[in-house]
Structure 1
Amino acid sequence: MEIAILILALILIVAIVSFSIRRKRKKEIERLEQKRKELENRPISEQLTRVKDLNMDGQAEELFDRWRAEWDEVVSIHMPAIKTLLYEADEAIDRLRFSKAQEIEKEIEEYIEQCHSDMDNILAELEHLIGSEAQSRVEVEQLKEHYRNARKTLLAHQYSFGPALYELERRLEIFAPSFEQYEELTEEGNYLHASELVKSLVGEAVALEAMIVEIPDILTELQTSIPATISDLRAGHREMEQQGYYLKHLEMISFLDELEAHLHELLQLVQQLELDKVKPSINVLIEELDFCYDQLEKEVISRVYVERNAFNLQDRLLNELLQAKELITEAIFVQQSYRLESEKADKPKRLAKELELLQRRYDVLLEQFTDGHSAFTSLEADLQDITASFEKIAEEQASFAEYLKTLRVEEMDIRVELDELRKELHEVDRKLHKANIPGIPDEMRSRVAEVEEQLFVVEKSLEEVPLNMVQIRTNVKVAKELLEGARTKVIEMVENVILFEHTIRYGNRYRATHPDVQKRFRAAERSFTALRYTKALEEAGVAVSQVDPKALEAIQRLAQDDLYKATKL
C-alpha cells in the first residue's frame, strides 16, 4: 500500500510539473505568434506605394525593385517558415518534448528578429530616399534664390570686388549647369545622387556668400587703409628726420617697402579667393604698422624727456664732485680721531671715482645729443641710467657724510651713558651695603667688581687715539649687560632676605609646639649666617608649609610693602 501511494504521489508530482512547463511553453508560443502577426502587419506595402509618386526610373526604380523583392521574400518565404516552426513547437509541447520546443522557440525568435531588422532597413532607406528628395527640392529653390542675389550683387558692385571679380563669377557659373544636372537626376529617379549634388552646392554657396561679404572689406584694407597708413608713416618718418630725429636704427623705410611687396602678394591671394591665408596676414600687417607708429611715438616722447632733463645733471654732478673731494679731506681728518673700517675709510675715494666716470658718461651723452646722430630713445635710456646711478652715489655720499658727523655725537652720547652706568652701579652697590644682612656673598662682590672692571675698559677705550667706535659700542653693550645681571641678582638677594625674616617671624608661633619646625628653623638660620640666603629661605619656607600650607601666601602679603621699598632701585 505504501509503495502504491508513493508511486501515485510521484505520478502526481510529474503531472503537475509537466502541466506547469507545458503552460509556460504555450504562453511563449502565444508571445511568438503575436510578434509574428505584428511583423506581418507592418505597413511595408503602404510605404512602398509612396515611392511610386516619384519618377520610377534609374536609382529609384532599382531601389524599389530591391525593396519589393526583399519584402516579397519576407512574405512568401520567411512568414510561412515562421508559421511552420510555430506549429512544430506547439506539437513538441503537446508531446511533452520541452527541450525540443525550446530549441525551436529560440530559432523562431532569431528568425523574427532578422525579419524585423530587414524591414527596418527597408523603411530607413525608403524614408531616406523620400526625405532626401523633399529636402533637396527645398534646398535647390533656396540655392537658386542665393544664386540670383549673388549675381545681382556682383553686377551692381563690380568695383568692390576688384581682382577677385573674375574668379567669383567663374565659381558662380557652375551653379546654373548644376541646377540643370539636378533636374536631370530627379527626372531619371537618381534622387540620392541628386541629394549629394545639392549638398555640395550648398557648401559652395555658403563659401561664396561669405567671400562676397568679406572681400570688399578685405580689399578696402589692402588697397586703401593699409596703403594710406604706410604713406602716413613714410611722411611722418621724413618729417621727423627733417626735425632732427635720428631714425636710421629703425630701418623703417626698408621695412615699409617689404610690407608693400607683401600687400601685392596678398592681393594675388584675394584674386585666387584664398581668403583663409589673407585674413591672418592682414591682422599681422596692422600689428606691425601699429608697432611702427609706437616706435616713432617713443622717439617723440624720448626727445621731450631728453630736452627737458639733459642739462639738469650738469650742476648737480659738479657740486657732488666738489663735495666728494671735501668728503675725502674730512674723512682723513676724522680718521685722526676715530678709527674707520677699511671699507668705510676708502668709501669717499670710491664714490669720487664713480662720480668721475659718471661725469665722463654724461659728457659723451651731451655730445651725442648735440651732434644729432643718436636716437632719442637710446639717449633717454642712457640719461635715466646715469641719473639713477647719480642719485644712488649722492645718497651714499650724503649717508657717509652724516655718518662722519654722528661719530662725534656718538662719542659724546657714550661718555654721558658711561656716567649714567657708573651712577647705576653705585646705586646697586649702595643698595647692597644698605641691606640688613650679615654680609655680602663673594659671588655678589664678584659681579659688582666685574661691572666696575668693564666700565674701566670702556673708559680706557675712550682715551685711545684714534677711537675705535665699533669696539667702544661693544664694550658699552657688555657693561650694560653685566650691570643688568648684577642689579637682578642684588634685587633677588634682598628679596630673599626680607622674605626669610618674615618667614621666621611668622613661624616663631610654631617653634614651641612643633619640634620639626624648630629644627628646620635652626638649620635655616645657620644657612642665613653663612650668607646662603636662597637656601635659608627655602629651608624656612618648607618648615612653615608643613604646618600651614597657606603660610607662604600669607608671608608674601605681609612682606609686600617691605619688598617694594627694599628692591626699588
Structure 2
Amino acid sequence: MTAYIIGFILLIITLIIIGLLLRKRIYDQVDRLENWKMEIMSRNIASELSRIKVLNLSGETQEKFESWKGRWDFILTKELPDIEEYLFDAEDAADHYRIPTAKKTLQTINVKLETVEKDLEKILSELEELIHSEETSRKEIAELQPNIKGLRKQISQNRYQYGKADVRFEVELDELDQKLNRYFELTESGNYIEAKHLVDELKENLDETKVHIEEFPGLLKSCKHELPAQLDDLSSGMKTMKEDGYRIEHLGFENEISGYQQRLLDCITALEKGEVETAKETIEEIDHRTAEMYELLEKEAVAKGYIESNMANYERTLDEIASTFQETKVEVETLRKTYYVDDQDTEKYISLEKEINSLRKQLEELKEKLEDSDTAHSELRSMVENGLDQMKEITKNHDAFKDRMLNLRKDEMEAKERVANMQDEINAIHRRLQKSNIPGVPSFIWNAMDEAMDKNNRVLAALDKQPLDMAEVQQALRDGAASIEQLSEQTDMMLDQAYLTEQVIQYANRYRSKFPLLAAKLEESERLFRSYEYELSLEHAAKAIEEVEPGALKRIEEYQLASSEG
C-alpha cells in the first residue's frame, strides 16, 4: 500500500516538473516574440519614408507614399497592440497550464509578425526602387541630352554624306526629343517608375539611331561608289582577259554583275528609307561575291599559264614512258621464252599497257579541247595534273615490274649456286661416313642420302625446264634443303652413338672378369655394334655399366664431349 502511495506521489511530482518545463518554454517564446514586436516598433520607418519628400509628391509617388504611410500607421496602432494582447493571453494560458492553447496563440502571433515583417520589407524595397529609379534616370538623362544634340549637329554639318536620308534621321532625333520632354513631364507629375521605363526605351532608341547615323556614310559610299567601281573594274578586266584568250565565258559573270549593279541602286533606296540591315546584307553579299569572282578569274589565269608551261612536258613524258615500255615489252617477250611469268605479273604488265594507251587517248582529247574555246583552262589543268599524276604512278609500277623481271635471272643464278652448295653438303656427309672408322653405315642413313640426292636432282630438273618456273624451283630448293638438313642430323646422331658406344664398352671391359653377367651383356652390345645397330648397342652397354657403376655413362659422355670440343 505504501508503495502505491509513493508511486502516486512520484507521478504527481513528475507531472508538476513536466508542467513547469512546458510553461518555461512558453514563457521563453513569449519573451522572444515580445522582443521581436519591440524591435519592429523601434524601427525608424517614418524617417525612411521621409526620404521620398525630395521627390515630387504627386501622381504615382503620392499614391505610393500614402499607401506605405497608411500601412505603417496601421501596424503601429492596430496590429502591434493586438499582438500585445495575444502575448498576454498566451502567458495567462501558460500560468494555468493550458499549454495547447498557449502554443496555438503563439503560432498565431508568429504568423502575424512574419506578415508585418514581409510588408515592411516590401515598403522599404519599393521605396528604394523609386528613389533609385529617379536618381538613375536623372543621371542618364543628363548624358542622353548632349548625345542627341551631338548627333543632330553631326547630321547638320555633314548632310552631303547622308543624301536624302538626312530628313529621316532628323525625324528620328525629333522623336527622341519628344521622349525626352515626356520624361520631364512624368517626373513633374511624380511618375518616376514610368519615367525610368521611358529612359530605358530612349537609351535603346538612341543607341540604334547612333549606330545607323555612324554606319550610314560608309554604307552609302559602298553602294554609290566603291562597289560599283569594283564591278566596273571587274567587267573591264574580264573584257581584257577575253581579248587575251582566257576562257571565262563558262563563269557567267556578266549577267551576275549586271544584277548586282541594279541591286546596288535598290540598296541606296533602302538606306534612304531606313532599311539599314537589308542594305548591309546586300553590301556584304556583293562584296563577298566580288572577291570570289576575282579569285575564280585568277584561278583561270593561273590555269592558262600552267597549261602553257606543262603541256609540252606532258606530251614528252608520255612519249618517254611509251618508248621505255616498248623496250620492256620486247624484253618480256624474250624472257617468256626462258622463264615462266606468273599470272599476277602478267596482269600488271597488261594493266600498264592499258594505262599508257588510255593516257594517249586522253592526250588527244586534251589537244582537241585546246583547239576549241568551250573548255575552261581550269578544267584542262585538272586533266593535265591528273595525267601527270598517273604517269608518275605508271613509272613507279613500270620500274617495279622491270625489277621483278630482272630478279627472274638473278633468282635463277642464286638457285644454281644453292643447288651446287647442296650437292657439296651431300658429298661432305658421304666423305665423313667413309672416314668414320665404324663397322658400317645403317641402311636408313643411305636411304636418307638417296632421298637428298633425289630432291637435289629435282631442283636441277626444274632449272632445266623451258620456260623456267621459278616458283617451282624455289619449292624444290626448300624440299632439298629440308632433306639435307634431316640427313645431316641423322648422321651426326648415328656417329655420336657409335663413338659413345665404343667408349662405354672400353670403359666396361675393366669389370668383365668380376661380373660375368656384365660380360654377357657387353658381348650382346658388341654383336649389335658389328650389325650397325648403334642405338641398341649403346642401350645394352649403358645399362650394363650403370648396374655396376651408377653414373658412369654421364661421366663418359662428359669426357667424350670435352674431347670433341678440344
Q: Does 1:457 align with 2:458?
A: yes
- 1:303 — aligned with what? 304
Deviation for aligned residue 1:116:
0.6
- 2:370 — aligned with what? 369
- 2:420 — aligned with what? 419
- 1:331 — aligned with what? 332
Deviation for aligned residue 1:383:
1.3
Describe how 1:73-92 pairs up with structure 2 within 5 A.
73-92=74-93
- 2:315 — aligned with what? 314
> Helix, strand or coil for the counterpart of 2:338?
coil
Is the contact between residue 499 and residue 537 of structure 1 (CA under 8 Å) also seen in structure 2? no
- 2:173 — aligned with what? 172
Is the contact between residue 498 and residue 563 of structure 1 (CA under 8 Å) also seen in structure 2? no
Of residues 220-229 and 85-94 in structure 1, the stretch that sits farther from structure 2 once superposed is 220-229
- 1:57 — aligned with what? 58
Describe how 1:215-294 pairs up with structure 2 within 5 A.
215-279=216-280, 282-294=283-295
The alpha-carbon distance between structure 1 residues 117 and 491, as it changes in their structure 2 partners (threshold 3 A), is same
Deviation for aligned residue 1:293:
2.1
Q: Which amino acid aligns with 2:54?
A: D
> Helix, strand or coil for the counterpart of 1:89?
helix
Q: Does 1:533 align with 2:535?
A: yes
| Structure-2 separation of matches of 1:364 and 1:114 | 95
Is the contact between residue 498 and residue 534 of structure 2 (CA under 8 Å) also seen in structure 1? no
Of residues 460-469 and 531-540 in structure 1, the stretch that sits farther from structure 2 once superposed is 531-540
Q: Which amino acid aligns with 2:452?
A: V
Is the contact between residue 339 and residue 469 of structure 2 (CA under 8 Å) also seen in structure 1? yes
Is the contact between residue 524 and residue 540 of structure 1 (CA under 8 Å) also seen in structure 2? no
Q: Deviations over 1:405-425 (max 9, x none)?
A: 443443333223221221122
Q: Does 1:31 align with 2:29?
A: no
Q: Deviations over 1:171-205 (max 9, x none)?
A: 22212111111111111111111111111111112
- 2:387 — aligned with what? 386
Of residues 186-195 and 365-374 in structure 1, the stretch that sits farther from structure 2 once superposed is 365-374
| Structure-2 separation of matches of 1:538 and 1:269 | 120
| Structure-1 separation of matches of 2:195 and 2:189 | 10
Of residues 292-301 and 361-370 in structure 1, the stretch that sits farther from structure 2 once superposed is 361-370
- 1:159 — aligned with what? 160
- 1:44 — aligned with what? 45
The alpha-carbon distance between structure 1 residues 456 and 27, as it changes in their structure 2 partners (threshold 3 A), is same
The alpha-carbon distance between structure 1 residues 415 and 219, as it changes in their structure 2 partners (threshold 3 A), is same
Describe how 1:401-480 pairs up with structure 2 within 5 A.
401-435=402-436, 437-480=438-481
Deviation for aligned residue 1:123:
1.2
| Structure-2 separation of matches of 1:306 and 1:468 | 48
4+ residue segments displaced more than 6 Å: 503-530, 545-551
Q: Does 1:97 align with 2:98?
A: yes
TM-score w.r.t. length of structure 1: 0.86
TM-score w.r.t. length of structure 2: 0.87
The alpha-carbon distance between structure 1 residues 2 and 373, as it changes in their structure 2 partners (threshold 3 A), is closer
Of residues 7-16 and 96-105 in structure 1, the stretch that sits farther from structure 2 once superposed is 7-16
- 1:125 — aligned with what? 126
> Helix, strand or coil for the counterpart of 1:336?
helix
The alpha-carbon distance between structure 1 residues 205 and 316, as it changes in their structure 2 partners (threshold 3 A), is closer
| Structure-1 separation of matches of 2:19 and 2:311 | 118
Deviation for aligned residue 1:500:
5.7
Q: Which amino acid aligns with 1:82?
A: I
Is the contact between residue 167 and residue 273 of structure 1 (CA under 8 Å) also seen in structure 2? yes
The alpha-carbon distance between structure 1 residues 312 and 78, as it changes in their structure 2 partners (threshold 3 A), is same
Is the contact between residue 517 and residue 544 of structure 1 (CA under 8 Å) also seen in structure 2? no
Determine what percentage of the aligned residue pairs are the same residue: 25
| Structure-2 separation of matches of 1:378 and 1:389 | 17
The alpha-carbon distance between structure 1 residues 313 and 535, as it changes in their structure 2 partners (threshold 3 A), is farther
Deviation for aligned residue 1:551:
7.7
Q: Deviations over 1:382-411 (max 9, x none)?
A: 112222333333444444445444434433
Q: Which amino acid aligns with 1:290?
A: A
- 2:186 — aligned with what? 185
- 1:20 — aligned with what? 21
| Structure-2 separation of matches of 1:545 and 1:284 | 109
Q: Which amino acid aligns with 1:135?
A: T
| Structure-1 separation of matches of 2:436 and 2:138 | 124
Q: Which amino acid aligns with 1:382?
A: M
Deviation for aligned residue 1:53:
2.7
| Structure-2 separation of matches of 1:202 and 1:402 | 83
The alpha-carbon distance between structure 1 residues 228 and 532, as it changes in their structure 2 partners (threshold 3 A), is farther
Is the contact between residue 421 and residue 480 of structure 1 (CA under 8 Å) also seen in structure 2? yes
Q: Which amino acid aligns with 1:531?
A: E
CA-based RMSD: 3.7
Q: Which amino acid aligns with 2:487?
A: A
Q: Which amino acid aligns with 1:485?
A: Q
Is the contact between residue 507 and residue 544 of structure 1 (CA under 8 Å) also seen in structure 2? no
Deviation for aligned residue 1:35:
0.4
| Structure-1 separation of matches of 2:516 and 2:27 | 116
Is the contact between residue 151 and residue 210 of structure 2 (CA under 8 Å) also seen in structure 1? yes
Q: Deviations over 1:179-233 (max 9, x none)?
A: 1111111111111111111111111122223333333344444444433333332
| Structure-1 separation of matches of 2:141 and 2:108 | 49
Of residues 127-136 and 457-466 in structure 1, the stretch that sits farther from structure 2 once superposed is 457-466
Is the contact between residue 504 and residue 541 of structure 2 (CA under 8 Å) also seen in structure 1? no
> Helix, strand or coil for the counterpart of 1:474?
helix
| Structure-2 separation of matches of 1:506 and 1:215 | 122
Is the contact between residue 37 and residue 113 of structure 2 (CA under 8 Å) also seen in structure 1? yes
Deviation for aligned residue 1:533:
3.1
Q: Which amino acid aligns with 1:255?
A: E
Q: Which amino acid aligns with 1:446?
A: N
The alpha-carbon distance between structure 1 residues 81 and 476, as it changes in their structure 2 partners (threshold 3 A), is same
